[in-house]
Amino acid sequence: MSSETEAPTTEDSTEPSVVLPRRRRDIFSDKSSSVLGIVGESLITIGAIVLLFLVWQLYINNAVLANEQASITKDQALAWATVSPSPVASGTTAQTDFGPPPIVAPVKEGGQFAILYIPRLGPDSQRAVRNGVDPVSVLNHGYYGRYPDTQWPGEPGNFAVAIHRTGWGSSFADAPKLQVGDKIYLETAHGYYTYTFRNYEFVLPTAVNVVLPVPGSEAPVGDQMLITITTCNPLLGDAERLITYGVFDSWRPRSSGAPPAIAAIVNKEAN
């Protein structure tokens, strides 16, 4: 017998595979792709949020607040008509000179005292006027807001108000369409104050002297009565201010009816 033994054979065995380390460049490339993916998704999400906000602010919220203003001005017109009814044939009175206008009595901060009409901006452009320019309670609800320490309608000097250019129920987006000679009407419990549009001015937000009794000047007031409307510019920005100036033209008491240019709108609101 042979004492030799056969060595076992491993015909099916294979060599173990060798795993090579990944190159650092590949690792960094994967990490960069992951980071860029996250950043890209974040930017898309932010863009969608901004777009939704613009749609809400410029269209939905604007329409809601515009409707709110329509209801407010109608209620105000009805209240005045109940206390002091205007003639049925409003705006037909031949008399045009009713003498000096009465000065509107001051109201408390946030108090409502007038409705402002600008026919050039459309038949639904009327908005109520409150005392004060608080963004939350006044401007962000579509009101015109009277600047503190400026004059009241009928008082010599500058009756200055602010309004948002767009959004927030504002009707002032098309302000640049105003033409020299266009009328601006202010309805109060006394009657109707008519101003004639004079000019525009573009100023920096720091130019607060536009609401002085004589805009941009320390000159004596005299007997001139102005209306100044300030708003933001450009349309979707606030880098500067668009200033609209009007000069007092005339007034008429409620007993003589509304001026012909707005008689149909006023009668519709008061009924």
Catalytic residue among 130, 141, 164, 254: 164
Pick from 134, 225, 152: which is nearest to 188 by CA? 152
| Sign of the C-alpha dihedral computed for residues 163, 164, 168 and 169 taken in this order | positive
How far apart are the C-alpha atoms of 134 and 201, rounded to whole Å?
Answer: 23
Whether 253 is a known active-site residue: answer no
Q: Which of 72, 161, 232, 242 is catalytic?
A: 232
Q: What tokens were used for 33?
A: 């792709």
Q: Which single residue is written with the structure tokens 């519709």?
A: 268
The C-alpha atoms of residue 69 and residue 105 are separated, in whole angstroms, by 23
Q: Which two tokens stand for residue 155?
A: 């008082």
d(CA 237, CA 166): 10
Instruction: Give the burial string for 16-26 (b: 16+ CB within 10 Å, else e).
Output: eeeeeeeeeee
Quickly tell me which residue has 């009327």 as its tokens: 126
CB-neighbour burial class of residue 66 (10 A; exposed 0-12, middle 13-18, buried 19+): middle
204 part of the active site = no
* Residues with a known catalytic role: 164, 232
